[in-house]
Amino acid sequence: MTDGVLDLQRFFPYRLAVLAEEVSRTVAQLYADRFDMTRQEWRVLAAVAANRQMAAKEIAEYSTLDKMSVSRAVAALEAKALISREEDPADRRNKLLTLTPSGRAMYQKIVPLVRAREDYLLGALSPTERDMLDDILNKLTSRARDLRQRG
Amino acid sequence: MTDGVLDLQRFFPYRLAVLAEEVSRTVAQLYADRFDMTRQEWRVLAAVAANRQMAAKEIAEYSTLDKMSVSRAVAALEAKALISREEDPADRRNKLLTLTPSGRAMYQKIVPLVRAREDYLLGALSPTERDMLDDILNKLTSRARDLRQRG
DNA sequence: TATTGTTATACTCTATAACTATA
DNA sequence: TATAGTTATAGAGTATAACAATA
């Protein structure tokens, strides 16, 4: 183990990447195949649905997307009439976003589907494991952010 | 929680994706910024280093890459003289890959660096948590694969 | 005919940065 | 000058499929 060879199958960053990609695909099957949305569009839709009336910058922070991804996802969602945009009267640089009725309807169709997949996945774990996973994800995410900032 | 709104910050697939992306970046900082390798090239390098003399198909299985990604990563690594290719005399469709001395030297520079990052990340966890995380990753990966295959 | 590996193509994603309009 | 958002562009990743060589 501590010799010069690294076994990819036991290397945590690799295992995490494989799991996350697999999970991401199972969720994307729902919103991509059935509702023709990209991952970015889904995240923006979920962000606006959960918060109502957000500026693009707030969406970027909430969804961990950069502002360009948000901008393009918003344009795509607007073209599909799933969200609408209006200027913020208090600061006309901001474009406030809300779901249209059909955007909300689509969101409400997708949510139970992705929740069911989440439940199925987490159903592999005991309640104790689920609680611990919650802590573990928080701790690891915090460390990973430290690491990346410090280089 | 069970109303129609999904909080992205509490949604497991989202949290997992954010963590995995963050971890992937901290590791990529090492092999990309310092050694000018893509993620695919790093995975292929690691696969060949851990197994010696692999055919492209075996690399694809070991590294969870598809055969085209392997083919292009191999071409790139060969152009940098990090791996070499020879025909398998037993089946001339196979191209057996091995690291060149400079490929092995680069691998041996990278391994301690990525191991240090892995150790730092997992250092956020107690030994109990680390053991449990190991099980959890296995269980979730197995379920996610089930889910994706069944659609 | 089936398999290994390569090549072609097109689409998505990501990153940097220039640009606009407001402030 | 600084900020919110858009647009441009190029590089990297991914997916489908056609293809060549070999079995």
Specify the number of domains making up chain B.
1
Asked if residue A67 has pLDDT above 90, the reply is yes
Does A80 reside within a domain?
yes
Does A42 reside within a domain?
yes
pLDDT score of A3? 67
- As a whole number, the mean pLDDT across chain B is 94
CB B57 within 8 A of CB B67: yes
Does A36 reside within a domain?
yes
Residue B122 CA: distances (Å) to CA of A22, A128, B23? 22, 19, 11
Residue B103 CA: distances (Å) to CA of A13, B24, B42, B45, B109? 22, 22, 11, 8, 10
pLDDT in tens, A97-128: 999 999 999 999 999 999 999 999 999 999 99
Q: How far is A94 from chain B (nearest CA, A)?
A: 23
**Distance of C1' in D7 from CA in A116, Å:** 39
Asked if residue A4 has pLDDT above 90, the reply is no
CB A55 within 8 A of CB A96: yes
Q: Is the CB of B70 under 7 A from strand C?
A: yes
Residue A45's domain is classified under what CATH number? Answer: 1.10.10.10
Domain that holds residue B44: 8-150
Does B3 reside within a domain?
no
Asked if residue B2 has pLDDT above 80, the reply is no
Does A25 reside within a domain?
yes
pLDDT in tens, B49-105: 999 899 999 999 999 999 999 999 999 999 999 999 999 999 999 999 999 999 999
3-state SS, residue A96 = strand
Q: Name the amino acid, one letter, at B18.
A: V
Does B89 reside within a domain?
yes
CB of A131 within 8 Å of a chain B CB? The answer is: no
Does A4 reside within a domain?
no
pLDDT in tens, A22-38: 999 999 999 999 999 99
pTM attached to this predicted model: 0.95
**Distance of C1' in C9 from CA in B85, Å:** 27
